[in-house]
Amino acid sequence: MIFTIAARELRSLFLSPLAWAILAVTLFILAYLFLTQIEAFIGLQPRLAAIKGAPGVADIIVAPLLADAAVILLLITPLITMRSISEERRNRTISLLFSAPVSMTEIVIGKYLGILSFFIILLALLALMPLSLLAGTDLDLGKLAAGLLGLTLVVAAFSAIGLYMSSLTEQPTVAAVTTFGLLLLLWIVDWAGTTEAAGSSMLAQLSMLRHYEPLLKGLFNSTDVAYYLLIILLFIGFTIRRMDASRLQH
């Protein structure tokens, strides 16, 4: 049942030009970034050859590419998630789900997986770029895998937040703006204090960026993974609560 809803969600995304446009623009920009990183690497190569244990392609090309990809995804996630619930409420199509023998949890998780599968497709296309390096050079696959896992977790957390924001309002644009605001805040929240005060280290713990950086370096830390999983569960839980409440008041 969850997968039926997810499939419908994904299908509707691809039936609108928005998803295609987003895929095209994002991949174009990422490809450009990828090529500039390759150029930088070629420039550095003679000097790197002289150093023993120098950083490899994974550090110089893949890590910056994935770091930039996270920022771009921060910009586009609100556009993908904004319509998922708000538009159904606005067009009153949500009553189709409400009067079907489906629980609220199934509806919300179905919708979430639909959105997530769109981003998995995007990430799969993105992963092809670094993988193409395998044709000409050695690539640290472990580092690439850690980076991609990090990016998947980041975008999964973005989607959960976007879904929740979409359940709060009937206006897709409002959902997009609030999602963007919250995502950006969570991204930059550690800028508040670079000093080692007690407060700022707590803010650093909240920051999405802080938990992403270790994974880019190939450092798999269970606290980082737990952080993203917690965010995802929290916001999916909020969404289910919110949808249940929407039947109570009007």
Partner 1 sequence: MSRQALVQVKHLTRYYSQTCAVNDVSFDLARGEVLGFLGPNGAGKSSTMQMISGNLAPGAGQISIAGIDLLEKPKQAKREIGYLPEQPPLYRELTVDEFLRYCARLNRIRRSHIGNAVATAKERTGLGDVGRRLIDNLSKGYQQRVGIAQAIIHNPAVVILDEPTVGLDPLQIREIRALICELGKEHGIILSTHILPEVQATCSRVQIINRGKLVFSDTTAGLESRMNATALIAAFHSAPDLAALQQLAGVERVEPLPGNRVRLHYDDSNPAEALVEQSVAQRWRLHELTPEGRTLEQIFIELTCSEEQYPHSGDSSQ
User: What residues make contact with partner 1 under the rule CB under 8 A?
Assistant: 1, 4-5, 8, 11-12, 15-16, 91-103, 247-248, 250
Rounded to a whole number of angstroms, the minimum distance from the CB of residue 184 to partner 1 is: 31
Q: Could you write out the DSSP letters of every residue in 114-164?
A: HHHHHHHHHHHHHHHHHHGGGGTS---HHHHHHHHHHHHHHHHHHHHHHHH
Rounded to a whole number of angstroms, the minimum distance from the CB of residue 247 to partner 1 is: 5
Distance CA 77, CA 232 (A): 14
**Longest Cα separation, the chain:** 70
Q: Is the CB of 98 or the CB of 220 nearer to partner 1?
A: 98
Q: Is the CB of 86 or the CB of 178 nearer to partner 1?
A: 86
Angle CA 182–174–66, to nearest 5: 45
CB 177 within 8 A of CB 231: no
Rounded to a whole number of angstroms, the minimum distance from the CB of residue 89 to partner 1 is: 11
Q: Is the CB of 16 or the CB of 45 nearer to partner 1?
A: 16
Rounded to a whole number of angstroms, the minimum distance from the CB of residue 232 to partner 1 is: 25
Q: Is the CB of 80 or the CB of 183 nearer to partner 1?
A: 80
Rounded to a whole number of angstroms, the minimum distance from the CB of residue 245 to partner 1 is: 9
Q: Is the CB of 103 or the CB of 205 nearer to partner 1?
A: 103
Please classify residue 210 by burial: count the beta carbons closer than 10 Å to its beta carbon, then call 0-12 exposed, 13-18 middle and 19+ buried: middle
> H or E stretch including 232?
helix 222-248
